[in-house]
């Protein structure tokens, strides 16, 4: 595993030494190149490009970030995902190198733009490309997410999958119920509960909790 990035203070000092007579904002960068880069990074839709609204959301965040904030955010991100096998090792190495400062032959402006871009995409969108390709960087508060039926179905299929995998692990042919298959099977179950469950609920800490808060999303 790559060596840990330097402290935020060291990163700021290193940046200040190279940035003595330069303004703090990134100026003169290729805006069209940045837009194209973000379009490819933010998602992998049918045409390989992310929606323009997603790109604008991330670009707005880039303008508000400072070098110190980027250092703190990326260090925390690397720490939080230290043992996350879904977080690509290539992404971990790239972020670690970015925290160490400009690469050989790279200008301070280019490094600063890359640092802010990676920070905005990973922090304000998602560190997982698979998530960015099928989701939006903003939330819709009208869509229920953590519901009783979601917890029930999630736990139920986790138990079924674990039981199935354990039962057939030592048999031939081996039958494995992966998480992807469980998610596919979970969807019609959610639709069925949304159709069958009554809209009964109760109040808890000022929140309305219902057995059936609406269509299965």
Whole-number Å distance between alpha carbons of 70 and 117? 9
Are 116 and 62 in contact by the 8 Å Cβ rule? The answer is yes
Residue 32 has pLDDT above 70, yes or no: no
| Domain spans in the chain, listed from the N-terminal domain onward | 8-134, 148-210
Whole-number Å distance between alpha carbons of 54 and 38? 9
Q: pTM of the predicted model, to two decimals?
A: 0.55
More confident residue, 17 or 125: 125
Whole-number Å distance between alpha carbons of 188 and 193? 9
Q: What is the pLDDT of residues 189-210, one digit of tens each?
A: 999 999 998 888 777 777 778 8
44-71: burial string, b at 16+ Cβ within 10 Å, e else: eeeeebbeeebbebbbebbeebebeebb
Q: What does the block give as tokens for 70?
A: 């980027």
Q: What is the pLDDT of residues 61-84, one digit of tens each?
A: 888 889 999 999 999 999 999 999
């Amino acid at each position: 595993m790559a060596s840990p990035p330097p402290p935020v203070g060291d990163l700021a000092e290193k940046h200040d030494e190279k940035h003595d007579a330069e303004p703090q904002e990134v100026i003169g960068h290729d805006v069209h190149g940045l837009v194209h880069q973000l379009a490819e990074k933010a998602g992998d839709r049918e045409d390989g490009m992310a929606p323009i609204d997603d790109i604008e959301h991330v670009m707005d965040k880039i303008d508000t970030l400072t070098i110190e904030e980027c250092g703190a955010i990326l260090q925390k991100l690397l720490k939080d995902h230290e043992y996350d096998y879904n977080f690509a090792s290539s992404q971990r190495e790239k972020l670690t190198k970015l925290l160490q400062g400009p690469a050989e032959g790279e200008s301070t402006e280019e490094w600063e733009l890359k640092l802010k871009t990676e920070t905005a995409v990973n922090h304000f969108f998602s560190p997982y490309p698979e998530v960015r390709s099928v989701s939006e960087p903003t939330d819709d508060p009208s869509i229920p997410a953590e519901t009783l039926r979601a917890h029930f179905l999630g736990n139920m299929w986790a138990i079924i999958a674990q039981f199935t995998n354990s039962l057939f692990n030592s048999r031939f042919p081996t039958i494995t119920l992966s998480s992807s298959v469980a998610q596919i099977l979970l969807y019609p179950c959610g639709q069925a509960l949304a159709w069958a469950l009554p809209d009964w609920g109760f109040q808890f800490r000022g929140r309305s909790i219902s057995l059936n808060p609406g269509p299965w999303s």
